[in-house]
Structure 1
Amino acid sequence: MEKGSSQKVMVAIDESEISHSTLEWTLQNLRESIRNSKLVIFTVQPISDFTYLHASTHGAAPIELVKSVQENHKKTAEALLEQAKDICSQYGIVADTITEVGDPKEAICEAVEKLNIDLLVLGSHGRKALQRAFLGSVSNYCVHNAKCPVLVVRKKD
């Protein structure tokens, strides 16, 4: 990234320790590069699977219960983003925050395109090939599908 040019950098986070480390790494190592850039902290609220609600309520989950679960996801995401903003402010960086509902890998790539992001930074849990096959890899998907360069911060061993 060129110094002095106005770039958009997005750090995608979740509640994991690696996400916290990725944000810290970004602020420590790209501090000078992002000082004059727009920093966006992005998190995804999971798509709620209400199958268990339907089963536990014998097929008819009350709308209030569904709304409560969705509101809880939103509050969790907002608290996570607020914590991230506080971390950024410790480095003298002001960040914008955004949350969307969806599948994380798809939502991140869609946000990159919609927001015209110039650099995406995200963490990698360091899963082995078999784990990735069953669990998927958000970072791998984003490396291959995001419409901008992707910096993957690996988990330290």
Structure 2
Amino acid sequence: MEEERKKKVMVAIDESEYSHYALQWTLDTLGETISNSGLIIFTAQPSDFIHVYASTFGAAPPDLIASMQENQKKVAAALLSKAKEICAQHGIDAETLTEAGDPKEVICAAAEKLSVQLLIVGSHSRGAIKRAFLGSVSNYCVNNAKCPVLVVRKPT
């Protein structure tokens, strides 16, 4: 009999309190279940700052772009390191991963590429107007991810 493929759960985080709440909720609520699965903590390194700079000031100097990208890598590494520590406190050895790009797109792409069975994202609890202008990563993931998506909303 073939050994069953290990199930994978991915939690997408950013610097917000909402994604930290989603991670903590996941560990507190699903900890025992995911301890037997593979837990992946994912963060996106947004690349839109280059486009904003270019549309505002013209072409960005290459050294500025490199410096900004390096800074984002450091922020992502620190964020993932802290998340990994939190998981370890719950007895869970999580894998960490980061990708550069539009967060909503790279989250869905990573979930598909890694054959994730459940994607967990936090909700910023924006109203309809803010969502229309700013977009919603969680809404995008619910509508575009190839796996089930659990949206965790922080109580107000």
Q: Using structure 1 for the length normalisation, give the TM-score.
A: 0.90
**Closer, same or farther in 2 for the Cα pair 1:125/1:55, shift >3 Å?**
closer
d(CA) in 2 for partners of 1:48 and 1:137?
15
- Give the conservation status (yes or no) of the 8 Å contact 1:5–1:37: no
Matches within 5 A, 1:81-120: 81-120=80-119
- Give the conservation status (yes or no) of the 8 Å contact 1:124–1:154: yes
1:19 corresponds to which residue?
19
d(CA) in 1 for partners of 2:116 and 2:37?
11
Q: Name the SS for the 1:49 alignment partner.
A: helix
d(CA) in 2 for partners of 1:35 and 1:97?
15
Amino acid at match of 2:12: A
What are the Cα deviations for residues 21-73 of structure 1, in whole angstroms up to 9, with x where unaligned? 110000000011101100000000011433537866xx564322211111001
d(CA) in 1 for partners of 2:133 and 2:48?
20
Q: Using structure 2 for the length normalisation, give the TM-score.
A: 0.91
Amino acid at match of 2:43: T
**Closer, same or farther in 2 for the Cα pair 1:60/1:153, shift >3 Å?**
closer
**Closer, same or farther in 2 for the Cα pair 1:89/1:128, shift >3 Å?**
same
d(CA) in 2 for partners of 1:60 and 1:25?
42
2:53 corresponds to which residue?
52
RMSD: 1.8
